[in-house]
Every structure is written in C-alpha cells, then in structure tokens.
Amino acid sequence: MTDLPAAGSVLRAADRAGKTPFDLVPLTYDERMLRRRRLVTAHDEGFLVDLPQTVSVDQGDCFALADGRLVEVIAAEEELLEVSAGVEAVARIAWHIGNRHAPAQIESGEGTPRILIRRDPVLAKMLEQLGATVTEVREPFRPEGGAYGVGRTMGHSHGDGHSHAHDHHDHTHDHHHRDH
C-alpha cells in the first residue's frame, strides 16, 4: 500500500464549525470530482484520498485524514472566459450557456453582471455574436450547482451521432389535429 496519510471521508464546509485545517489543497473544477487519488497540499505534503464513492467537493470542504487532521479544498485558478453583457442581454446569454450544459459561475455583485465559463472558442464566438463581451481570464472556478442547487452540472449523452444542436430554421413541424 502506501505510507501516505489517508483521507477516507469529507467534512462539508457547513459542518466544519470551529475545526481548523492544517493545510490547503488547490483543485480545479474537474479535480474536485474524485474517489481515489494522491494529492499534494499547498505546503507540499502528499496524502491519499480513498473515499467509498465518487464525490464532488467544493471550496471550504475538508478531507478528513485518519490521524484527525483536516485538509481544506480551495478552488485552483483555471483558464476561463469572462462573459459580460448589459442587464437586458445577460439572461438570454445565460440561457444559451445553460442550453449547452456548460458549467457556469454567475456573479451579479456591484457593476456589470458576469458569467465565468471554461475556455471554449466556439462558445466564445457564439456569445460574442449574441452581443456579449468575452475576455480570457485566469481565476478560481466555482460554478453553480446542478438542479436545485446541489451537485454538478453533469450534462448527459445520447450516444454517438446525437447532439443538442437543433437548427429549426430549415424546416417546420407540421401538427395534424383530426376529429375522432
């Protein structure tokens, strides 16, 4: 096996009251979905995550090591796109991002609302055509949870040969109503 300290459970940020972690582990959005992996803390201490099932950890959650120490998860910086638009256009732009099942961090603090998404040149071009300002940035990525505010936006697959690209400009749908 290994001599690394092992984490067999996760302590959620909401349940951490008064417990101070001994170190931090920066993880990207993709890295925050895990079951078993060797990680290295910000102070270069290795440990093994060995959870009973795959989980998604969020910023502020902690890995509980067998020796009682806690390692806090922080969102690592990632290559992202900052998408901004006027208040009147931001909802439509957010809809188009969501329609493509793209994880998105939505911020509406002071000033212009902004949405952070992963870098995707095709999506960037489409958003610019919709009137958005798209800027490449490097920041921590903490996208919204899935439905009902929990979990991840996982997308879904329909198998080979099927996509969500629907172009309704080239055809119509006829509806027939018959008397029975």
Sign of the Cα pseudo-torsion (168, 169, 174, 175, in order): positive
Q: Does 174 score more than 90 pLDDT?
A: no
Residues in Cβ contact with 27 at an 8 Å cutoff, skipping those fewer than 6 apart? 39, 57, 73, 74, 75, 76
Pick the CATH number of 6-75 from 2.60.260.20, 3.10.20.30, 1.10.3660.10, 2.160.10.10: 2.60.260.20
Higher pLDDT, 71 or 175: 71
Give the residue-averaged pLDDT of 83-87. Answer: 88
Give the tokens for residue 18. Answer: 């008064």
| Count of CB atoms situated within 10 Å of the CB of 7 | 23
Domain ranges of the chain: 6-75, 78-149
Confidence of residue 7 (pLDDT cuts 50, 70, 90): very high
Please compute Rg for the chain using Cα positions: 21
Rounded average pLDDT over 41-67: 97
Q: Is the pTM of this model over 0.85?
A: no
- Selected from 3.30.70.790, 3.30.428.10, 3.90.226.10, 3.30.1050.10, the CATH number assigned to the domain covering 78-149 reads 3.30.70.790
